[in-house]
Structure 1
Amino acid sequence: MEGEILSTKPNIETQTSPAPSLPTFPTGKTISIYVTVSILWIFFFDQFWTYWFSDSTLPVFYKNAQTLAFSAGTTIFLFFVLQKANSLPQKLADMENENRKLTESTRQDLLERELVEQALRGSRTRYQQLFEHMLGGFSYQQILTDDSGHPIDFVIMEINSAFETILNCNRAQIIGQRVTKFFPQIRTSNPDLIQLFGHVALTGQDNRFEYYWGHKRRWFSVAVFSPQEGYFVTLFEDITNHKESESKLRIHSEYLLSLNELTLGLLNRVNLDELLSVMVARATSLLDHSSGSLYLPCEDGLHVKLVAASGFYSDCIGLVHRKDCGLVQQVLATGAPVVLKDYRDWENRLDFKEFETTRAIVGLPIFADGKVYGVLEVQFHQPDRLFNAEEVELLDRFARLASIALDNALLYKR
């Protein structure tokens, strides 16, 4: 058709007839072999001919045989070269076809990989948004062990915004850091925590617990699980307000129960020893994890005796010391509650081995006949556990109520 340009390039994908033979030279290595063989053949043939047919009387035909032989050798050489060249276009076409298939396969692989990466990025973004908008804290950690495989530390790998808010820390400062570097007090105040996290990371066993962080004075509900060996995830929320409400409700309930028991003691004029034991037991039941002791004066008027106790001091009943020393002396002198943050650091402490574990302590006056008659002590043994103002006020009210019961029991005893 006029104006139509026909392509002379063969269609490699659709052609069925073999490619035409083209005078294309084979590779350099092949040509070198052919040339070398031909030259050697011509040289030896020339030597042979010169030696046997050098007589000048021979016909011209024989003299020109050497020239004919050279022409024949050259023809044979070109024949082999062209024979080799015949298959070259088809080989090139096959190579091009293979390259096209390989390119298409590579392009398809790259496309599939890009789709997978896009899906992963989208999934990662959604999970990141989920973690960032969680109300509770999230953290991802790697456990560190010693040569024996025992957990000794862990590295914080990732946290969310709630983690920063709840624990008042900065992501840039904490990511990649050992927890003992950022929270060094964990080794002394809660050494078992690293072991607990290590057990989860190394065994894959999930764990849930409530944890009081004395350094922050906050309660947390914690869930721990391991996504892979050597790593663990913590999900936690601040339940301090809930625990305080729960504690206030429980304390109020305990206070009403104590009031009822002491009132019954007044009405029934109970045995003094029984009343003293009830007083200490009810006082310590108002606060979790506390011990209690009650001191009354000895007959000599110079000493006091531990007459009732609970918790750590249950085996110390009968202990006697001077009333003009220790916390007892402070309460007897002031007639008011005395609170110490750490008994071990107090310069007037009593050097009894039974008191070595005492940390925070409050001493409360017990009245009889309008005077300070004895001292009720409530102690904590946990690091960083202190008495707040509400707890001291509650214990003081209880001590006044107990004073009424004690005063009445003493009257009955007389």
Structure 2
Amino acid sequence: MTLRSTPSPAPQLMTQALEACVVGAVITDAQAEDHPIIYVNPAFERLTGYGSAEILGRNCRFLQGQDRDQPPLEAIRRALAEGRGTTVVLRNYRKDGLLFLNEVTLSPVRDEMGTVTHFVGFQSDVTPSEEAVAGKARAQRTPTSTLDHMADGFASFDPDWNFTSVNDAVATLSGHDRHELIGRSLFQVFPEALHRPIGRALQRARASGLPQRELTFLPEVGRWLDAVAYPTGNGVSLFTRDVSESHDVQEKLRLSEERFSKVFQASPVAIAISRLRDNRFLDANPEFLAQSGYALEEVIGRTWEELGLSMRPEDLRKIEEGLTQRGEVRNLELRIRLRFGEERDNLLSVVPVEIAGEACTVNLIHNVTEQKRAQQALLESEQRYRRTVAELQRTLDISLDMITTIDAEGRFMTVSAACEQMLGYLPEELIGRRSLEFVHPEDRAATVSEERSVVQGRTTTAFQNRYLHKDGRVVWLEWAAVALPGDPLLYCAARDITQRRAAEEDRAYLAAIVEASQDAIIGISLEGQIRSWNTGAERKYGYPAAEAIGQPLTLISPPEYQDEQLQMFRQVKAGQPVEPFESVRVTRDGRRIYVLATLSPIVDASGQVVGVSKVLQDITARKATEDQIRNLNEGLQQQLRHLTGLREVDRAIASSVDLPITLGMVLENVRRQLNADTVTMLLLNPHTLTLECVDLHGRSSAALQGSSVKMGQPLAGQVALSRQPMRMPDLREVGTASGWLETLVQEGFRAYFAVPVIAKGKVLGVIEVFHQDPVTLTSAHWEMLEMLAGQAAIAVDNARLFEELERRNLELRLAYDETIEGWARALDLRDKETEGHSRRVTEMTVDLCRRLDVSAEQLVDIRRGALLHDIGKMGIPDAILLKPGKLTDGEWVEMKKHPGYAVDLLSPIRFLRPALDIPQYHHEKWNGTGYPAGLRGQQIPLWARAFAVVDVYDALTSDRPYRAAWTRERALQHLQAEAGTHFDPQVVQIFLQMLGG
């Protein structure tokens, strides 16, 4: 089929034709992925049971369901790939699940370029005809087997004259094994046959489409053969008979005719013989006359039409095509209208024959009307049965129980969908397999015995056994089974009772655990009465179960705890959770017991609360142990706080010389560990012999802040003078004779403690501790206070030593710097022309290096290096150093040694070694042409690079014996010109920014 670009004269007619077509039609898009359906006609919807909305966009394979292993599918795939048509029969399934045989004819649709754009598929239900074909095939297998054993020869050939079948008789005549002939060409094996009578008969039969007969002599075997060649649908067949004895031949012919006549007259199939040229009847058997309603004389000489035995035009066309193309018609299904108007379904076969030299046809009409009706009734019955079975199966699949039938061999025949939930297997995985395969090995013997009892009709109760889940788990099933008389199947229903069995076991375990428990476990009804009382409760509280059961739940509760117990009971009864809690219970003899009570609701299968369980664990011993542990833990915690505080102070003393920070840490530790309200630190001023308050932690007090007290005066002065601690747990008991005591009481303090701070036998101060409430310090507290006072003494002593060292170090550094400046002035005095040069370059170098992000510590070494940059010239003779004219080459060599002299002079002095970079390298140049080491670029130390710029700038802007000083602008231009050659460009840029140039 080709799509043309010219408009169709009647596109609406084509659509109407497809819509009215009784054959299912679909159109698929060949250029889209997976060939989706884009059109279906109503006949296809009726054929499959699906609506167009359920079909469009899908591939036709959905009709196959899971039945995908069908050989014809490969022919369809090849046809789609090659863009050609094909016809196959497939097993398809309607929407209701019913199977039908679908004859599918595919035709490609091409555009003007020849490209396949669509496929048209016509689909017909051929289930009845396919079943008939299958029956015919079974019927044909018997003659083929018979031919293999006939004495007469038989051979068949395909269109290329290759042997397709040979019986033993022909193989014997040919002198070849029959298997050697199959697939080989007749005229290659027997070239002479091409011109012999048998070969000519075969060729005439295929050309004319009519049987051909030849009587021929085979000299190779010396036998006369009667050979008949018959055209077939896919080649030619040959029958041969040995007629060497003439009378035998004639006798056999006579008998054959007699047999044919008998068969013709007695056949239950209607047979009529007609001339081929005009279709007029020559003879008809009694069955034909009975079915048509005519007498023989009314039939002879008349045609089908003249007798009124009408056929549909398409059936007549098929008969004509069959005779023309294949030479015969086989089992054409058609409807024939008989004499009185009745229509019947028939199978028509038409075979051409030659009678008395006249070409005729033998018409065999098999009335299949009743058979068709029976087939239709059977089909409808099967459909009803399948619908009933499907509905029943759906009903069974809804059940939570597994419904199954088991045959006499113990195999599953049907299984409901619940098996997947119970055992993890799909129904199709179980069907056909023995049920014992899935039974736990230990339960198989009992299962077989139970099945035997059911089959024998003995009354049985529900039977329980273990099955093995697909994942290996054990599943407990409870079975109910029945066997019907005369029915080999066993009908069974199984229920999963794994959880029920586990619950029963749990209840048994729980009962045993409750009875054996050392704890008291008591069951309480919703009315608040004791319903159960285990042996643990008997032992703990002294009441036997018989006496306790029926009593109120407050039986063992002290009066002060009964309200609490009732409140908890009501809360659990209402379904509200209650966390385990500690309480007190009383025994029969009046002893009190500490218990840990756990209350839980008791619920039935529906989740309704039906009671309360109470577990009472005796924790009296544990409570005593906890008190001991708590007391011990408090002591350990206190020691840990003491040690932690000491460690913090130790670290502060070791890492810092900042006395206020260290003292603040000491005072804060004292305040925390003694739980004090205020703590002060008073240091002794050795010049005024006055204790002065230098720090205060905790609650501020105007009287304490900045206070001072003379040695020997209350209260701190007395502590310092006596060098002994002072304890006043309650100031009100001491009285207020002292004005200072009265002041403390007015400030809200009620307790006072103080310890002296002594280091190396000298009193350095006093630590005072104030409480707003009376308090007595333990020995541990006093020990900690004295230790912290000792730490404070160390901190104060260290701070004062450090201050002394700092002062002395500062004096030493000032002496060093004054010495260096003296050396620089001595150099300037030696060379009058450079007087003041060292001071100027030093100041500018320090300023420049600060802009280069050099640290403050390094600026000290930079200042020293700048002051001593020409210290090496002390080793240069005055004749060279002070020479007014140009130096000779030899003198320059000597002059260039002064950086080395500087290293020799300064390196032995340890504190000047970091300052050597400038004296040693300030004559190096950026391009590596400087001296003394010829360093280049970043190899030159940054300080020396900075100093070189400053040194040259100061030299150019100062007067010299051999030239006048340059202007500032000219000197800066020179620096810019030498940037990248003599000087570091970055340093020059920053120097210019510093000078504002």
- State TM-score, norm by structure 2: 0.18
Which structure's residues are more often helix, by fraction?
1
Q: Which structure would you say has the larger RCO, counting Cα contacts within 8 Å and 6 or more residues apart?
A: 1
Bigger CA radius of gyration: 2
